[in-house]
Amino acid sequence: MKILYIEDDPINALIVTKFLENDFSVETAESSEKSLRMLQEKSFDLILLDLNLGHDKETGLSLFQKIQLLDSYGNIPVIALTANSDTTERDAYLQAGFSGFIVKPVNRDNLIAYLSAFKESSKAV
C-alpha cells in the first residue's frame, strides 16, 4: 500500500514514516502545494493528512476539499491526523468525508493495525 503523508512538522513526519516503513510505502509532503502536485504526478492508495498545517496557509480541511476536486483523487481514503481528541471535531471531519480519524501522538502498533484494515478492505474490492 502506497501512502502519502501530508505533515508540515518534520519530526512528526519522520516518526510516522519510521513507524510505517516496514509495512507500507510512505512518501511525505510538507506543504499543501507539494501534496497537490504529488497527487497529480503519482498514484497513492491512502492519504494521511495532518489537520493542523501550521506552517502552511492551508488547513487540513481546506486541503482535503481541494484534494477531492482532483481528477486523480478518485476514492482514495483520506485519514485525518490531529492532536485534538474532541469527539465533536472528529464527527465533523468524518461528516466532511474523511475516511478515518487518528489522534496524535500515535502508537506504532495501533497505527499499523488501523492502516492495515484499509489495506485489507482495498484488496476485497
Q: In which domain, by residue range, is 6 found?
A: 2-124
CATH number of the domain residue 81 falls in: 3.40.50.2300
Segment 10-40, tens digit of pLDDT = 999 999 999 999 999 999 999 999 999 999 9
- Structural domain total, the chain: 1
Whole-prediction pTM value? Answer: 0.90
DSSP E strands in 1-125: the ranges are: 2-6, 25-29, 46-50, 78-82, 100-103
What's the rounded Cα separation, in Å, for the pair 28 and 53? 13
Residues 70-91: tens digit of each pLDDT: 987 778 999 999 888 888 888 9
